Amino acid sequence: MKISQAYLRYISEYLEIKGVDMNQITHYKASARLWTEIVGDKPLNRLTMADIAKYTQGLKTYGRRRGLNTIAYYIKELRVVLRYWRLRGEETIDSEIIPIPKREPNTPSFLDKDSVNLMIRTAKRVRTKFVISLLYSSGLRVSELRQLNRDSIKDRQFTVIGKGKKERIGFIDARTERFMIKYLSSRKDSSEALLVTSDGHRASVSTIQLIVKNAAKRAGIKKRVSPHTLRHSFATNFISNNGNIRHLALLMGHNSIQTTAIYTHIVDNDLRREYLAHHTC
């Protein structure tokens, strides 16, 4: 069995049956393609550590430059595939001896509430105001926003299916509700989707990303702003206002509180800057 076949069969025989998120399946398919393009489509029983070193190095330069965190993700996928086939009786490298690159510190990019308010205030279309306000007030992922329907939000509360197909409850604030009512009342289409394009089709992830990007540009914000920036902004604002980290983990849909803990570090950095700015001796 060749490496590309090993990936694709793992997808069809395990991931699809398990019912994982489509984004995960897409990433495994990309891993299979990158392996064959960087190293070649070798048989599993002929893989060497030199091949894996070549793959790791190639991920840094092939096509586009990738950071250590992204490379670590690809190597973890390779280890999973090899472990699966080794358990199935295939002769291949022991996945446990494959090193995973050390991850880089990852400090999320976020906006303060004044910058978010500026984006909303300078936006011309009510749809844009609604999207920004919704992402900031709820902490939704862009893929989660896309799946919401007109009737999903009731009494400023909604339920969404997040990563790992886990269901969670979320909330919006009064401002977002006002924008939602105004936006929905302006629509002429019959689509059940909460957010649609001008022709009435459910908005794609790329459409939502473009809405946010253009709003930031219009507001004169220099940094790169995406829907995920607004998700980070929601979390940072919650922690800054003394919100409980365990409650935030539930609102964000995090499997581990360790993932949520990074926002406490961001607030600590803000606190240190404030101390240095205002303390004299």
Active site residues: 141, 163, 228, 231, 254, 263
Could you tell me if 53 and 38 are in contact, meaning their C-beta atoms sit under 8 angstroms apart? Answer: no
Cα 121-123-128 angle, rounded to 5 deg: 115
